Structure 1
Amino acid sequence: MIDLNATFFVQLVNFVLILILLNVILIGPIRRVLKKRAEFMASQMEGIESFTTSADAKLKGYESALEAARVAATAGRMAMKAEGQAKEKEMLDAASAEAVSTLQAAKAEIASQSAAAKKALEGKVSGLASKAVARVLAA
């Protein structure tokens, strides 16, 4: 059986004093270190989250700028292609017109030479016909 005498109260006071002393010397500093560590981790997490948010915003900005550059490049390429096709059509039309005029000039030249040759031969036809008749009759 337990006797409640003076040693019990001395031990109780001793226990309370040890508990207070351990709280001041050991448990208190450990709690402060854990609290500082938790605050540090929270601040680090906030920094990480702000960095991640900033990085995501920059990435979206980069992607939108890249897409805008692609659209501008495509529009520029299409404009240049249309300009090239217009120049090609212009050059082909000019070459076609030049070919038509050259062809007409050549036909006119041939027609004038043909007419001149025909005229020259018409004057000689009667002489050639009489020579041919003379040969036929002479033979």
Structure 2
Amino acid sequence: MVTIDKTLLFQMINVVILMFLLNGVLYKPIKKILKERAEKMLGMQSDIAKFDKNARLRQQEVDAKMAKASGKAKAALDAARAEAQAAGDEKLASIKAEVDSYKEKQMAEITAQIDTARSGLQANLQGFATEMASKILGRAI
């Protein structure tokens, strides 16, 4: 059976002293370290959130700049293409005009040659007709 004597009182004082010693030596430093670790983790998480937000903002800026640069490049390409098309059309029109003038010149020459040949044949037509009739009839006309 349990008897209440000096040893019980001594054990109770011993337990109380042990609690104060353990609290001061072990529990408070561990609680302090855990609290500092939790604060450090919270700070790191806020830094991570801030860096993540900055990274997203930078990515959006880069995407916007890329879209703008792509638009400028497309506009420059379209302008160069239109300029090349206009230059090609102008060159083609120049060549076509040159070909048309050459064609008209050749047609004029051919027409002149046909007229010359026709007038030459017209002049000789009477002589040919008389000669052919003589050959066919076998006598001079």
Shorter-chain TM-score category? 0.7 to 0.9
Aligned length: 139
Runs of 4+ with deviation above 3 angstroms: 1-12
In the alignment, which residue of structure 2 is the partner of 1:13? 13
- 2:107 corresponds in structure 1 to 107
C-alpha distance in 1 between matches for 2:95 and 2:74: 31
Partner of 2:38: 38
Give, in angstroms, the shift of residue 107 of structure 1. Answer: 1.0
Rounded Cα–Cα distance in structure 2 between residues aligned with 1:135 and 1:29: 147
Q: Is the aligned partner of 1:65 residue 2:38?
A: no
Q: Distance between the aligned counterparts of 2:126 and 2:50, measured in 1?
A: 113
Letter in 1 for 2:107: K
**C-alpha distance in 1 between matches for 2:2 and 2:126:** 172
In the superposition, the TM-score normalised over structure 2's length comes to: 0.84
Q: Percent identity?
A: 30
- What value does the CA root-mean-square deviation take over the aligned residues? 2.1
Single out whichever of 74-83 and 22-31 deviates more from structure 2.
74-83
Q: Determine whether 1:80 maps to 2:80.
A: yes
Matched, 1:131 2:131: yes
**Please, which runs of 5 or more residues in structure 1 have no aligned partner?**
none
Q: Which range moves more in the overlay, 27-36 or 13-22?
A: 13-22
